[in-house]
Amino acid sequence: MKCPLCSGKLFVTDSKTVKDRIRRVRECKECLSRFPNYEIINLYECDPYIRRQLERKKAL
């Protein structure tokens, strides 16, 4: 991942799990800007088999 401001390299400085997603803060070592970003599983692009398993689990 590159810095949107200066295209410098971004480094993860903070990472924590919030429910079903991971919140990370990335910092650019060039211009020292910080960018929070979220990582989330895209269920719509999961394997159909996995999606069925998840739907069944929710139904219980």
Q: Which is nearer to Zn ion, 23 or 33 (CB)?
A: 33
Decide: 2 and 26 in contact? Cβ < 8 Å.
no
Q: Which is nearer to Zn ion, 9 or 52 (CB)?
A: 9
**Does residue 6 touch Zn ion according to CB under 5 A?**
yes
- Indicate which single residue of 12, 15, 21, 31 sits in contact with Zn ion (rule: CB under 5 A): 31
Q: Shortest gap between Cβ of 57 and Zn ion (angstroms)?
A: 42
Sheet holding 21-28, edge to edge: 10-18, 21-28, 34-40
| Cα→Cα distances 52→12, 42, 55, Å | 34, 14, 5
**Does residue 46 touch Zn ion according to CB under 5 A?**
no
